[in-house]
Amino acid sequence: MIASFLRPLAGMFLLFLVAGLPAHAQQGAGSLATGPGSGGSGSSSESGEFFSQDTVNAGLGELPGWVDRSTPQGTMESFRAAAEAEDWQAAAHLLNLGDYSEDEQAAGGPVLARSLASVIDRKVLLDWHDLPDRPDGIDFSASGSDPASSARRSIRIWVLSMDKRSVPILLNRVKPENGDAVWLFSKTTVANVPRLNELYGPSRIEQKLPGALRERAFWGLRWWEVLALPILAGAAAIAGFATSHVIQAISRRTRRRLLQDVIDASRWPAIIAVVTFVISTITANLFVFSGQVDVFLQPLTVLGFTIAIMLLLVNGIDRILDRIVSFDNETLSASGPEFEYRRSVATRLAAFRRAAVVIVVVVAAGIVLSSANVFRSVGFTLLASAGALTIILGFAARNVLSNIMASLQISLNQSARIGDRLLFKGYMVVVERINFTYVQLRVWSGERLIVPVTEFTSEVYENWTLKNSDMVRPVMIRLSHSANVEKLRDAYNRILDEGCEKEDWEIGPKEDRGVHVAGHDIFGQEVMFKVPTTDPSTSWVISCTVRERLLEAATRMQEEGETVFPEANPAEAA
């Protein structure tokens, strides 16, 4: 199980390390063996700079003078020029047809060249800057330790998926016995052309379109592609709306709560999956778009399926957690040992959910990047290098990452749990949510405070429900120097006893009660009445009620002729 999680992460790490290399990352000089399976025949040269074979395409006749096969870039430019001119006889000279007889070369070479040109046009986005224009294939932009900095005999242009495996499109340097070395599409590539053309060549619908629609329009697109893109978007939108309405209708008719939760959790994943499936099906069977469009559609298809699976996992985790423990703040903020345990469990499960989301997102990103070749497709080789990517992402996400780590810290050390009552910056609040980047606090009056996690952890706050919810609320009243404190002490005890008997106040033990003269000045004495409580949810209300009834008792004493309150005019009080 652990290995299954670590493998995608390792794949992401390796991808970042190699993404800075040239997009055509070639195979080493000694990494390709000669023979039909590797694009050469006969024995390779001792220097390892080319493949040796007896002849090169002897059945094709004389090579046109404008065809350049001396360098990788020259071969690709000549192949493109021949394809644009539809000179498939000339294009066949750029394929290594060494596995075919001379008669087969003459008959099948142009056909193979036309099929390969179609595949390259639709699925390959060439980076001409990365194609060396030297006979030895050396790339001087590569570092000294890079194999591309030395003479090469094979260069990988692109990688395509074929029958559940990846196959490269290779250029090999081939030298006949009596001639100079030339760069040709490898025997392996030529052998895979028929199957690749079946997968990525023109669809039956495209072949039946009028010739005018198959002409070039703009940006390298054909007219049928310009018309098909809005149709593709419309079909995907209709499929998404239909899926949403069907799921909502099924959910409304469902009586069982568990089944309804499952349906609701799968709504958005199903919509995204259906939309992605429609796009992938149309682009694979009905309309095979050119490379300029496919370079974006392929990553979007992988991204769509990955997001659908990711949302399904996250929503499923949420529904499971909701079944395990209630996240209702009114329930969690109640007092009692059982609620202490519930608050701890709810906070830990919320942390588990955040950790699961992070893992799912990281794994999904690894799958998308490694499957879709995003960096190579859009030419972000420099930005994708390990050092540059680390600096850019680290700088952009420093606040987000610090908040995520702080939220996990709160969940682990349990300094503030979901449902805890706090005194935060003078506000009496209940912790409602501990999210990735912020903490949601509900003020006693109903307002919500949204506090960044890093700010929340850096502030000093009182937790009234941590470990033990018992607390003593002080009620301070200023009396005159001649006030009878003992009478007020009797009234204070009577008020607490009556509250416990008649109003079910949750009062602490009697030994925590007390009436103390906490200070005095020229105006009088300051008396503190201690109100022990066991429930933070009601402690503030109880202390306010005690203050109110003490003032009523003091007022009655004042009316009976005793001096209770200090005699001071408003100016002196100010």
Q: Which residues have a Cβ under 8 Å from the Cβ of 485 and sit 6 or more positions away?
A: 479, 515, 517, 525, 527
CA 308 vs CA 274, 301, 542: distances in Å: 9, 11, 52
Written as six digits, the tokens of 201 are 């060549």
pLDDT digits (tens, 9 = 90+) for 450-508: 888 888 888 888 887 766 667 788 899 999 988 888 998 999 989 998 888 888 888 88
Domain positions in the chain: 18-201, 223-414, 471-573
Phi first, then psi: give them for residue 116, nearest 5 degrees. -65, -40
What pTM does this model have? Answer: 0.51
Look at residue 381 in the predicted model and tell me its pLDDT. Answer: 46
Q: Which residues pair with 444 in a beta bridge?
A: none
Nearest-angstrom CA–CA distance, 362 and 358: 6
pLDDT tens, position by position, for the chain (574 residues)?
Answer: 333 333 443 444 333 333 333 333 333 333 323 333 333 333 334 346 888 888 899 899 899 999 999 999 999 999 999 998 989 999 999 999 989 999 999 999 999 999 999 888 888 877 777 788 888 888 766 555 555 557 788 999 888 888 888 899 999 999 998 888 999 999 999 999 999 988 887 777 766 777 677 676 677 677 777 888 888 888 889 999 999 999 888 888 887 777 777 788 888 889 999 998 988 888 777 777 766 676 677 778 888 888 888 888 777 777 776 666 555 555 555 555 555 566 666 676 777 776 777 777 777 766 666 655 544 444 444 444 445 555 666 666 667 667 777 777 777 777 788 778 888 888 888 888 777 778 888 887 888 888 888 888 888 888 877 666 677 888 999 999 888 889 989 999 899 988 888 888 888 888 888 999 988 888 889 999 999 888 777 888 888 999 999 999 989 888 888 888 887 655 555 4
Q: What angle do CA 357, 361, 363 make, to 5 degrees?
A: 120
* CATH architecture of residue range(s) 471-573: 2-Layer Sandwich (3.30)
Neighbours of 238 (CB within 10 A): 12
pLDDT digits (tens, 9 = 90+) for 427-446: 888 888 777 778 888 887 88
